[in-house]
Amino acid sequence: MTSRDFSLASLIPGVFLPTIVFEIGLGAILPVIALTGLHLGVSVAGAGLLVSMLAIGQILGDVPAGALAARVGDRRAMLLASTVTIATLSASALARSVWLLGAGVLATGAANAVFMLARQSYLTEASPVLRRARALSTLAGVQRIGTFIGPFAGALVIHLAGTGSVYWLAAGTSLVAAVIVAVVPDVADASAAHARAAGVVPVRRVLGDHRQVFLTLGVAVLTVGAVRGARQTILPLWTEHLGMSATTTSLVFGLSGAVDMLLFYPSGKVMDRMGRLWVAIPSMLVMAVAMIALPFSRTVATVSVVAMVLGFGNGIGSGILMTLGADVAPADRRAQFLGVWRVIQDTGNAGGPLLVAAGAALGSLGGGILATGTTAVVAAGALARWVPQWSVHANRSTRRRAAESAARAGLG
């Protein structure tokens, strides 16, 4: 498919619509997992561990997700993930023991990894390279919108039918997503499907053949993931440290999320036109400034401003990691490569809050937040160093050099 023939609107039925529906369900259960654990008699620490099961399941599922998508195809993997999620969420709704709840949440995280990997790989195949960033940043934006809507939908259901009903809501959204994926025609062409089918290779071979990418650009991905993961932790921890109410914390967090959601399409457009670094580096530097400023913010007004700047920094980087992964993934083994890529990304997301927690454990929450801001600066440097080495689309200069090299090769 050429850039002229391509339209984001063509991806709404098969990619964006099932994604937002699926994410609404996951967003709805996120606030209630810990509450369900507490109702089942676990401690506060145990409830926190239950919440982390979702992220752990996602990390554990990333590599198998790549192998599955390569073997059965991206659409079928999305359909399978939605179907499995219906079962895992139903089990969570019916759980009368913390072990069953934990198993259900862990399996839901693994199924989510399959769905996320498959839609990223699917969208990479379906979109032309010069419109890729817009497509993937829109996918990231749709995910965020779904996660943002989810808690509000969950709150309404809880008000009407109780806490456990949220899991049934999420099972229902997974069912709707599965039906949409099943009935909407595939937009990826036959050549992409053939390349995907030919790419079933062992993960160890993918690691060996592309170890230089993972050991260089992968470091940048890990640090970006850590900064983003910490972002969702530092705001509530800091407002709690200042003695602000839960309502105020929710409003501050909501402001940050609202700014974040509004920027996904401009982000993709800049990446497509100017190159990936024009978004990646400013995103990390803006987040670094916000994180470094946060420990010096003492009022609701100043914390709110910092939160919006933080949301702005994260928002302008919408889809950047998925886009970089799509840029460097080999066409003949794309799904397996992206599985490893997502392990690195998700490990960073999970590790970011630990960096903040380590600072707090050492007696300085502000120190942990400042360390995260420093990590954002490191991430910007790592992106500047390694993105041009591996992605033709890093900036206009790398694109021009690639075009000149292709022209010389053609003349030769």
CA dist 405 and 410 (Å) reads 9
Average pLDDT over residues 311-340: 91
Q: pLDDT tens digits, residue range 155-210?
A: 888 888 887 888 999 999 999 999 998 988 766 544 445 445 555 677 788 889 99
Q: pLDDT tens digits, residue range 21-71?
A: 999 999 888 878 877 888 888 776 677 678 778 888 999 999 888 888 888
Confidence of residue 246 (pLDDT cuts 50, 70, 90): low
Q: Which of 264, 366, 276, 351 is nearest to 59 (CA)?
A: 351
Domain ranges of the chain: 1-200, 201-412
Q: Which of 25, 151, 171, 166 is nearest to 89 (CA)?
A: 171
Amino acid identity for residue 221 in this structure: V
Its sign, for the CA torsion 266, 267, 270, 273, is: negative
pLDDT given for residue 28 in this prediction: 87
Q: Which of 283, 393, 329 is nearest to 117 (CA)?
A: 329
CA dist 63 and 61 (Å) reads 6
The position carrying tokens 């916000």 is 290
The gap from C-alpha 267 to its chain's centroid, in whole angstroms, comes to: 15
For 1-200, CATH number out of 3.50.50.60, 3.90.1150.10, 3.40.30.10, 1.20.1250.20 equals 1.20.1250.20
> How is residue 254 annotated by DSSP?
H
pLDDT given for residue 191 in this prediction: 43
Q: pLDDT tens digits, residue range 83-102?
A: 999 999 999 999 888 899 99
For residues 268 and 136, is the Cβ–Cβ distance under 8 A? yes
**What global pTM score does this model have?**
0.86
Percent of the chain scored above 90 by pLDDT? 43
Domain 201-412: which CATH class?
Answer: mainly alpha
The gap from C-alpha 94 to its chain's centroid, in whole angstroms, comes to: 28
Average pLDDT over residues 225-249: 84
Q: pLDDT tens digits, residue range 111-163?
A: 999 998 988 888 888 788 888 899 999 999 998 898 888 888 888 888 888 87
pLDDT given for residue 157 in this prediction: 87
pLDDT at 381 over 90: yes
pLDDT given for residue 44 in this prediction: 61
Average pLDDT over residues 234-259: 82
pLDDT given for residue 194 in this prediction: 46
Average pLDDT over residues 328-345: 89
Where is average pLDDT lowest: 64-73, 298-307, 320-329? 64-73
Its sign, for the CA torsion 281, 287, 290, 295, is: negative
Q: What are phi and psi of 127, to 5 degrees?
A: -110, 140
pLDDT given for residue 193 in this prediction: 52
Burial 326-364 (b: 16+ CB within 10 A, else e): bbbbeeebbbbbbbbbbbbbbbbbbbbbebbeebbeeee
Q: Which of 216, 234, 222 is nearest to 372 (CA)?
A: 234
Return the beta strands (E) in 251-312 as ranges: none
Confidence of residue 410 (pLDDT cuts 50, 70, 90): low
pLDDT given for residue 190 in this prediction: 43
pLDDT given for residue 189 in this prediction: 47
367 C-beta neighbours (distance < 10 Å), count: 15
